Structure 1
Amino acid sequence: QQLLGNNRVRAVAMSATDGLTRGMEVIDTGAPINVPVGGATLGRIFNVLGEPVDNLGPVDTSTTSPIHRSAPAFIQLETKLSIFETGIKVVDLLAPYRRGGKIGLFGGAGVGKTVLIMELINNIAKAHGGVSVFGGVGERTREGNDLYMEMKESGVINEENIAESKVALLYGQMNEPPGARMMRVGLTALTMAEYFRDVNEQDVLLFIDNIFRFVQAGSEVSALLGRMPSAVGYQPTLSTEMGCLQERITSTKEGSITSIQAVYVPADDLTDPAPATTFAHLDATTVLSRGLAAKGIYPAVDPLDSTSTMLQPRIVGEEHYETAQKVKQTLQRYKEL
């Protein structure tokens, strides 16, 4: 991360640092982290280094890819606009998702972000028919386990013939050090998705739960790497780090990556630098409200706070647009009363 001179550098640990002492010899591999990609990854669970952690034996590593890559060039990008149906009525009517776009699910603790992501995986991954990549970035291990079991039950992961599975899972959970837990696992998941898009020319779904933990990890190690903390104690390189990840999630002439990201909102404050930085990259935002969740209305989508660049008459049609606007007017009037 940083060269101090005199053969000394600052680096980020990708696994536990127990037993490490000053003066130990460090060997430079001369290469970035390379992870397995392609069909061999489907139906399996990996860690940040691309090592399988599901006790199902080794993975074919004949095709690997480095996790640090540049974003596609302007000339390669695809700008066609089309709607991505989710089957969740409040979303499809008021803030529709874009195929090949980036979508954020914003909410505080316990308002149903992960449950909504699991519902979307259920609705989309089954009907979509293509491949999905799920990146569990710094979330609860229990949720990761639940998701794995649920996918096996629904057939998205095929236990009899693992190669026919439709999803690859990557977990860097809460119990791991910040380097592995969050800073890099998002990039590992994205690298696998990019291979399906660029080489297999497929439309891929990339689920990231939770993108806030990616930022949080950067902030944890930022001061240790000798960087001055910025607003609210976040790293000064917050926008750059987020940009490096988000700019790679895009649609090219070969295929598309549609990304659905859960974004934890600290203390329900949408102006916090982490969610505020994420907002800039998204095509659609679904904001989950604690007030609605408290009333027992699920999914707790706030229809007035959620936005989408796709809600235009020329894309969704006049009738859809007019209906959505009338619904919003009625809800706004109800809120005022």
Structure 2
Amino acid sequence: MMVWGNQTFSSDFILLGIFDHSPTHTFLFTLVLIIFAVAFLGNSAMVLLIYLDPHLHTPMYFLLSQLSLMDLTLICTTVPKMAFNYLSGSRSISVAGCATQIFFYTSLLGSECFLLAVMAYDRYIAICHPLRYTSLMSSKICGLLAASSWLLGSTDGIIDAVATFSFSYCGSREIAHFFCDFPSLLILSCNDTSTFEEVLFICCIVMIVFPVAIIIASYARVILAVIHMASGEGRRKAFATCSSHLMVVGMYYGAALFMYMRPTSDRSPTQDKMVSVFYAILTPMLNPLIYSLRNKEVARAFMKVLRKAKSGE
């Protein structure tokens, strides 16, 4: 039953955050802002480079641009509000703002899960079935797979946001986090949320374990194919591309599994906040760095843009 009464929406929530105004925390807050700036610029640059350079108009780089777009949206969902609250001294967030954060945050996490699986499938087709690559990963198919990732993630976001605010919050409205994350809200509910937690666990299996299975199956075939390659240069190129993706997958899924595959009763607010900082702020910064530093095509496109800027073209 949906609870839309005055009790649920009578006042704003309070985000307790992760920083106070001690010198140490002021330094850490400044560090987070620097990381945010690097992540914002890095992902924006990745999207623009892939859009502007015709040589990067391939399925692999199109999918990479979608990953950067997701990361860009993810950091903008949480960090600006955290920074505003810290600098202004206000710790409140409206119910609408909280629901919006839950929707975007959960949607983007789910979308990235499926997109990483699509990226693994793309590498599998490119390495194991190169002659059929253009037909199996045509622009239309690639676009549909990327759109499906966004759609499936958004569906999960809508379900989680609506379900979270179907409960009453009649006690404390203090959220032990720096943004509205639905597991942190469920702890505050005066309703029994155990059934929803069970449904949530099943959703996590679908949203996390199913894409992981696709990634493992794809890369198992890729590794076997690379091992049997006659060309040493081909092996190095394949491993360079795949290792970048596997590094991103390891960071992302490791944090997500730890965060959402545990029951609410086993959660520690401190642990949740630290893990959230990792995959909500650090990972979006590291992703473009990993792909740009380990990818000659991206580095070449970046240098090309720099040369054009210097020559004034």
Short-chain TM bin: under 0.3
Structure whose residues are more often helix by fraction: 2
Q: Which has the higher contact order (CA 8 A, sep 6+)?
A: 2
More strand by share: 1
- Provide the TM-score with structure 2 as the length reference: 0.28
TM-score between the two structures when normalised by the length of structure 1: 0.26
